[in-house]
Amino acid sequence: NCQIKKRISNTKPAGFRERVMAQLIDRIILGVLSAILLLVYSGGKIYSVWISPLVPMYLIHSAPGYLASSTDWWWGGMYYTISMKYVADIHLSYPSAVHWLLYACYYTIFHSLLGQTPGKMLKGLVLLNEEGRFISAGKAFLRWAAYLISLLPLGWGIWSSQWDEYRQTWHDKISHTTVRQFVRCDIN
């Protein structure tokens, strides 16, 4: 029975693999957006290569002679350098206010307006509340913030979804949401 209703009903709990792939797509998009922000804010002196799939932290490269000032923390211009023998120095950006804001807005806006991020769209997934409806902006923000709790004990809050009856992560449980996968229906 595929009928268009206010509630989305032709779904099943999304599997772990589909959710990870959707998340990877979203992180690539966020990595590109963050790289553009770094390039613009630094006047072309810093560019980034996305590294972290979970938090806004980037492997960056700076132009020779570039020195970060103490006010560059808010947009990602400050970084930690790891020097190793026989290879070039590695620069890791500190998670910045602008990047955290970008991540929060991305997930809050897409989840509250469409119920899907671009990654979820490509994988046929949708985020719904327990009644099968889209969530509010407040609940979408809560879910994003709770995502950080899921990451704390080595991502256990995410891994545990594999053994949950409804495939919910800790951030799903905290925000009373579930990620569902669309089921194909034959229309006669």
At 113-134, the pLDDT tens digits run 999 999 999 999 999 999 999 9
- The whole-number pLDDT of residue 161 equals 94
Mean pLDDT for 16-23 is 95
**Tokens encoding 61:** 């490269």
Taking 70 as the threshold, does the pLDDT of residue 1 lie above it?
Answer: no
- Better-predicted residue by pLDDT, 72 or 55: 72
- 34 neighbors 40 (Cβ within 8 angstroms): no
Angle between helices 97-113 and 16-41 (to 10 degrees): 130
- 128 neighbors 175 (Cβ within 8 angstroms): no
> Against a cut of 0.95, is the pTM above it?
no
CA gap 106, 72 in Å, rounded: 22
In degrees rounded to 5, what are phi and psi of residue 13?
Answer: -55, 135
CA gap 74, 99 in Å, rounded: 8
Taking 70 as the threshold, does the pLDDT of residue 75 lie above it?
Answer: yes
Q: ∠150-118-154 over CA atoms, to 5°? A: 20
Please state, as a whole number, how many other Cβ atoms lie within 10 Å of the Cβ of residue 188.
3
Q: pLDDT per residue over 40-62, tens digit each? A: 888 888 877 666 666 677 777 77
